[in-house]
Amino acid sequence: MIASIPAAIRYMLLSALGFSLMAACVKAVGQYGIPVLEIVAARAIVSLFLSYLDVKRKRISVWGYNKPLLIARGVTGALALVCVYYAVTTLTLADATVLQYTYPAFTALLALLFLGERIKQATMLCILLSFIGVIVMMRPGFGDVALIGIPALSLTAALAGALGSAAAYVIVRKLSQTEDSSVIIFYFPLVALPASLLMLGSDFVMPGAEALLLLLLVGIFTQVGQIGLTKAMAAEAAGKASAYAYVQVIFSALLGILFFDEIPTVWTLIGGALILTGALVNALWKR
């Protein structure tokens, strides 16, 4: 039965599950008092080792050609990861994952500004729906009633993470003209590891056995997600393959219910539906 499912769909589902499990492990290890920067550093250690082996397997230079842009990709990716992990540890998994999917709107705006790419009608609709979806998830009060929805700092972190991810995607689009994908991936932990350790400073918390296992799983599940995503894109057109990535929201919501007793609110469901609809329209609308 599984064999009858197209390879691209299987790989994309594997990717979505991997990233969902990664987020769940981030949330779980955060409950042990492990700082976000320490989680980023732990993930970077695992990714650096695995990415280095991948580059060496291809027998190419790990340093690439456009070093300044490769470093910029690493910096934007690292900053995005800090924001995303903070959002994951302070929001429900469903809320954090849905807000991350505002990145197509940010990607379109950044591509317009820095690459001169025209914004299509589908993308304009994506931006509009994403904006409305975020407003709904904030659930603003009326009159003198203050905001009663997502905490402002967590919301800002989630959107900053999406913006950082979009910036990284735009840089990757430029780098893909000259650099191997494995080299691009390698530069993220190469930059993220020393940067996160430097900013962490004396806030380091010695993890116990359970926390250490969760930190290891963060790196492993991240790699599973990246491998699934890469293979899915190689097996199918990017638009069709990426459409199945949004099942990650379902996986995250289920993991939140099962392990953290997080029940999505009606506002999350409505706002999330708007954001995901916009992202799907952007991915699948061909005109």
| Per-residue pLDDT tens listing for the chain (287 residues) | 556 666 777 887 888 899 999 999 999 999 999 999 999 999 999 989 988 998 999 999 889 888 999 999 889 988 998 999 999 999 899 889 888 888 878 888 888 888 787 877 887 888 888 888 888 887 654 444 444 567 888 989 999 999 988 888 788 878 878 888 888 888 989 999 999 999 998 899 999 999 999 999 999 998 888 788 767 756 655 455 556 677 888 889 899 999 999 988 888 888 888 888 887 777 667 55
Burial of 171 (0-12, 13-18, 19+ CB in 10 A): buried
Give backbone dihedrals phi and psi of 137, rounded to 5 degrees, phi first: -65, -30
Q: What's residue 142's pLDDT?
A: 42
Residue ranges covered by each domain of the chain = 12-284
| pTM strictly above 0.85 | no
Q: What are the DSSP calls for the chain, one per residue?
A: -GGGS-HHHHHHHHHHHHHHHHHHHHHHHHTTT--HHHHHHHHHHHHHHHHHHHHHHHT--SS-S-HHHHHHHHHHHHHHHHHHHHHHHHS-HHHHHHHHTTHHHHHHHHHHHHH-PPPPHHHHHHHHHHHHHHHHHH---STTPPP-SS-HHHHHHHHHHHHHHHHHHHHHHHHTTTS-HHHHHHHHHHHHHHHHHHHHGGG-----HHHHHHHHHHHHHHHHHHHHHHHHHHHS-HHHHHHGGGHHHHHHHHHHHHHH--PPPHHHHHHHHHHHHHHHHHHH---
At residue 144, the pLDDT reads 41
pLDDT at 191: 92
pLDDT score of 18: 92
CB 248 within 8 A of CB 20: yes
Q: Which residues contact 9 (CB under 8 A, 6 or more apart)?
A: 232, 236, 241, 244
- Per-residue pLDDT, 7: 73
